[in-house]
Amino acid sequence: MSTKIIVVGEHTPETIKRFRDFPDTCVLFTPRLKDISPEDCGDTQILVGGVSKTLVENMPKLKFVQLFSAGADRYSWLPERIVLANAYGAYGDAIAEHLLTATLMAMKRMPEYVGMQDRQEWDLLQDIVRFEGSRILSVGMGAIGSSYLKKAHALGAVCYGVRRTAHDKPDYVEELTEPGDIDRLLPLMDVVALSLPGTAEVDGMFDERRLRLMKETAILLNVGRGNAVVTEDLIRVMKEGRLRAACLDVMDPEPLPKGHPLWTTPRVYITPHVSGGYQAGMNYTRVIDTAIRNLTLVLNGRPPIHEVDRKLGY
């Protein structure tokens, strides 16, 4: 009997062909999870693109879920009988480029120059800083944080990293340490970049106390999950004139509702969770490559790459 696979989302003809080239499989495509029919739920063994509790309750044969996302913290409820894999690694370079863009934008005060252009004003802003020689801390040293620091080091920054367990320090990092050292490092850093999963362990990690430990001229970047930063504390600190900038691709709440004070907080620059969006095309091929590779392994009775630890959430 063939293995039944459901792939969620809108896909290119080339991608559809790649999935359908698997031997001894029946591959169905559906734009959204809610479009999956009850008839198809009954004998589906593999789901690619995500899953919901309702679907799992109606998929007794489901044994493997492959995510298109790197984040997997929302799936801690998934029964242990179902293997879960994410797209870890597919997003690292693209999100690192976003981090570099935000860093340079803030250092060179580009948003303010754009505002001057809108007003047709000609002026010279002071306090422009150099990237070269700056001290950059990445809190989170997975694919994203590691790629960002590697690129930052190549441009002359002095790089520091924090990870859950510090080991195997790469050459482009001056110091690799554990979360207990964050408070020691924060007052020294010009840039602090967060690429953390949305787990309970990091919830509220950057509260008012930690934000005040940072240099008044430092830049805060967040591309992990919004719960790592206490929104109300950030607003308070920014309104006092502390921090050069806070560049947020993720925030709490999300999506950020109209009228929320974060939209108009001084020197807060918001992008709508797009730094790694594979649907924008920038990571699409790499994400699909990851899914195809893992399906090949699972269909041949082998464990997938980057199986998610349900307790850790990644």
pLDDT tens for each residue of 121-176: 999 999 999 999 999 999 999 999 999 999 999 999 999 999 988 788 999 999 99
Q: How far is CA 156 from CA 12, 134, 250, in A?
A: 40, 8, 27
Quote the domain boundaries for residue 255: 92-270
pLDDT of residue 165: 86
Q: Is residue 239 part of a domain?
A: yes
Same structural domain for residues 249 and 118? yes
Contact 209, 152 (CB under 8 A): no
Token look-up 């007003």 returns 119
CA pair distance 212, 214, nearest whole angstrom: 5
pLDDT of residue 207: 98
pLDDT of residue 244: 97
**pLDDT of 155-167, one tens digit each?**
999 999 999 887 8
Same structural domain for residues 65 and 98? no
Q: Could you give the maximum distance between any two Cα atoms of the chain, in Å?
A: 72
pLDDT of residue 281: 67
Q: Edge to edge, what strands does the sheet with 268-270 contain?
A: 175-177, 158-162, 135-139, 191-194, 219-222, 245-248, 268-270
Share of the chain above pLDDT 90, in %: 81
CATH at 168:
3.40.50.720
Same structural domain for residues 203 and 146? yes
Same structural domain for residues 68 and 200? no
CA pair distance 219, 136, nearest whole angstrom: 9
pLDDT of residue 188: 98
Same structural domain for residues 26 and 144? no
Mean pLDDT along residues 242-269: 97
Mean pLDDT along residues 49-66: 92
Q: Is residue 72 part of a domain?
A: yes
Same structural domain for residues 71 and 166? no
pLDDT reading at 278 higher than 80: no
CA pair distance 170, 193, nearest whole angstrom: 18
Q: How far is CA 279 from CA 166, 210, 246, 286, in A?
A: 33, 34, 25, 12
pLDDT reading at 280 higher than 80: no
Same structural domain for residues 76 and 164? no
Which residues, in sequence order, are CB contacts of 29 under 8 Å at separation 6+? 6, 7, 8, 9, 11, 16, 19
pLDDT reading at 282 higher than 70: no
Count up the domains in the chain and report the number: 2
Which amino acid, 76? S
pLDDT of residue 73: 79
Q: Is residue 310 part of a domain?
A: no
Q: How confident is the model at residue 13 (pLDDT cuts 50, 70, 90)?
A: very high
Share of the chain above pLDDT 70, in %: 97
pLDDT of residue 168: 87
pTM: 0.88
